[in-house]
Amino acid sequence: MSWSAERQARACLAAASGGGMRALAELVAEHGPVEVWQTLRETSRTSLAERARSVDAEEVERATSRLGLRFVVPGDDDWHTGLDALSTPDPGRLDPGLGGIPLGLWLRGPLSLDGALAVGLVGSRASSTYGERVASDLGADLAAGGSGGEGSCVVVSGGAYGIDAAAHRGALSVGSTLAVMAGGLDEYYPKGNERLLATVAERGLLVSEVAPGGRPTKAGFLARNRIIAALCAGVVVVEAAHRSGALNTAAWASRLRRQVMAVPGPVTSTLSLGTNRLLQSGEAALVSNAGDVRELLLPLDATREAAERPVQGSLVDELPEMLVQVRECLYPRRPTSMDEIAEATGLRPPDCLAALGELEERGLVAAHPAGWVLAQPRRPT
């Protein structure tokens, strides 16, 4: 077998746990996967330990190879560093038992996990014709980018019925897409989307923290939502009812400081209660097309219009590192509070305030009643 002891331990822990166990992820971060795996098998008497003792390490690796999958772990070239934000110890209002950095991810498809700017498109499985049309159009327009392909994004969703499937199909009509699955990649779920998911595997990427042979569970669907949020610069909730699982993805995105967006729906439709509530509460920015999404994510987009590059670059490239660090916490429309800036940068509030004052003098940020936002840079005279 060719895997290192650490990679094998991570894969086996994922196979035993099904992924998404915050406590296990924290143990691995503190003690390392090899020690945790050995202790679990040799001394623990928990139900997880019983499952661990039934895992055949060599078979996990053989199955990965036999299915043509890749297994990536933190530190690999193809690991998406956005996933590291999942180490946050406080899940907030989210389920405290779920979370943590994935032990590893199984991948199927030619697309790189850590590639272009990614945008999540999520919504209800029981969707309307309106919602599916919006999701499909958004998926296609985001994947296509501008007339020359500039500003194109990787569309990320969960491979489910309804909005997820529409978003994937729209993206596939012009490019590629990424689906984060709740079960092992040996069997596509749901069965009704098997053909669609096979196409994603051929032209895009399927991702799962569940080992081959693992079946989807209710907890697994919730756990995979955090991965969708972590992989993306922003998440768009296209259509969601009052208790839609897509709202859990939006909550993860908010917790991870990703841009949360929502498409408004008819006030008469119960299928849009969740999205309209996000907008009403200010938890999400209103978007109606791909241009709105790109505008909100512009500071994070490396494919900005060429005409804008010299103006922004000449100003920002000369900034001291601390000013750049503070500025990168801000968004063009959504205000960021002083507490959020201090938490994100690790700087003291007085230092943050001094940095913001200097950035404001340079015309790069602007004060807002609820905090600070990015400002359009002044052109040199």
Instruction: Reduce the secondary structure of 193-207 to three states and give it as a string.
Output: HHHHHHHHHHHCEEE
- What is the pLDDT, as a whole number, of residue 379? 38
Q: Which two tokens stand for residue 76?
A: 């690999």
Residue 108: strand, helix, or coil? strand
- What is the pLDDT, as a whole number, of residue 298? 66
* Bridge partners, residue 374, by sequence: 365
Q: CA 257, 31, 90: angle at the middle one, nearest 5?
A: 25
Farthest CA pair distance, the chain: 71
- What is the pLDDT, as a whole number, of residue 151? 73
Domains and CATH numbers, the chain: 107-300 (3.40.50.450), 307-374 (1.10.10.10)
- What is the pLDDT, as a whole number, of residue 374? 78
**Amino acid letter at 9?**
A
Q: What is the pLDDT along the chain (381 residues), one digit of tens a residue?
A: 589 999 999 999 999 999 899 999 999 999 999 999 999 988 778 889 999 999 999 999 999 999 999 999 999 999 999 999 998 756 666 666 888 999 999 999 999 998 778 999 999 998 999 999 999 999 999 999 765 556 789 999 999 999 999 999 999 999 889 999 999 999 999 999 999 999 999 999 999 999 999 998 888 899 999 999 999 999 999 999 887 889 999 999 998 999 999 999 998 899 899 999 999 888 899 999 999 999 898 654 433 333 333 333 334 446 787 887 888 777 766 788 888 888 888 888 889 999 999 888 888 888 888 888 877 444 333
- What is the pLDDT, as a whole number, of residue 315? 47
Question: Contact, 142 vs 177, CB < 8 A?
Answer: no
Q: How many CB atoms lie within 10 A of CB 68?
A: 10
- What is the pLDDT, as a whole number, of residue 305? 38
E strands along the chain, which residues? 70-72, 105-108, 118-123, 154-157, 177-180, 205-208, 234-239, 259-262, 285-286, 365-368, 371-374
Q: Which two tokens stand for residue 49?
A: 């330990």
Q: How many CB atoms lie within 10 A of CB 75?
A: 8
Q: Which residues contact 346 (CB under 8 A, 6 or more apart)?
A: none
> Which of 243, 270, 236, 229 is CA-nearest to residue 99?
229
Q: Is the peptide bond before 190 cis (omega within 30 degrees of 0)?
A: yes
| Sign of the torsion angle spanned by Cα atoms 171, 157, 232, 281 | positive
Q: What is the pTM of this model?
A: 0.78
Whole-angstrom distance, CA of residue 195 vs CA of residue 70: 21
Q: Which two tokens stand for residue 172?
A: 């596939």
Question: Contact, 138 vs 238, CB < 8 A?
Answer: yes
